[in-house]
């Protein structure tokens, strides 16, 4: 029997992922999610995962997160074994929220700027952040 290879992604790399074409599966219990919500995530608590697996769309990559990255690694393995393109978010919500605190998203004021101005300003901001070692 082959060993399942589990894909991992760091919290920093996950923060940079375009979330529009993926499923973020949040395994934290509902009381944790109420306090610290992860926008756009599908919340299926770990304790209910096996009975609600059918809610996870197999046609999209699935990024699995829990509080610390331990339970999500287990679920990532289960999903991978069932044919999902699944990734464990290393360090879980704890690492992700810490990354967001130390690397908040940059906002650009592009009001009144005409094309191609917004594209140029966005590219300049990304290049500056990359050269400075940020995102």
C-beta of residue 92 within 8 angstroms of C-beta of residue 67: yes
Query: Looking up tokens 């995530």, which residue turns up?
Result: 41
> What integer pLDDT is reported at residue 115 of this predicted model?
82
Report the predicted TM-score, pTM, of the whole model to 2 decimal places. Answer: 0.78
What local confidence, expressed as pLDDT, does residue 126 receive?
67
Tell me which DSSP letter residue 16 carries: T
pLDDT at 127: 67
Q: What is the pLDDT of residue 130?
A: 57
Residues in the chain where the model's pLDDT stays below 70: 1, 106, 125-135
Q: What's the pLDDT at 113?
A: 76
112: left (phi over 0), alpha (psi -120 to 50) or beta: left
């Amino acid at each position: 029997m082959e060993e399942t290879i589990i894909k991992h992604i760091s919290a920093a790399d996950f923060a940079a992922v375009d979330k529009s074409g993926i499923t973020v599966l949040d395994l934290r219990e509902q009381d944790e999610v109420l306090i610290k919500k992860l926008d756009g995530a599908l919340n299926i608590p770990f304790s209910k995962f096996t009975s609600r697996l059918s809610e996870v769309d197999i046609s999209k990559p699935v990024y699995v997160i829990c509080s610390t990255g331990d339970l999500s690694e287990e679920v990532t393995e289960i999903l991978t074994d069932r044919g999902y393109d699944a990734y464990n978010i290393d360090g879980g919500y704890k690492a992700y929220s810490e990354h967001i605190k130390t690397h908040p998203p940059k906002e650009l004021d592009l009001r009144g700027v005409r094309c191609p101005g917004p594209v140029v300003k966005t590219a300049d901001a990304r290049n500056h952040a990359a050269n400075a070692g940020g995102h």
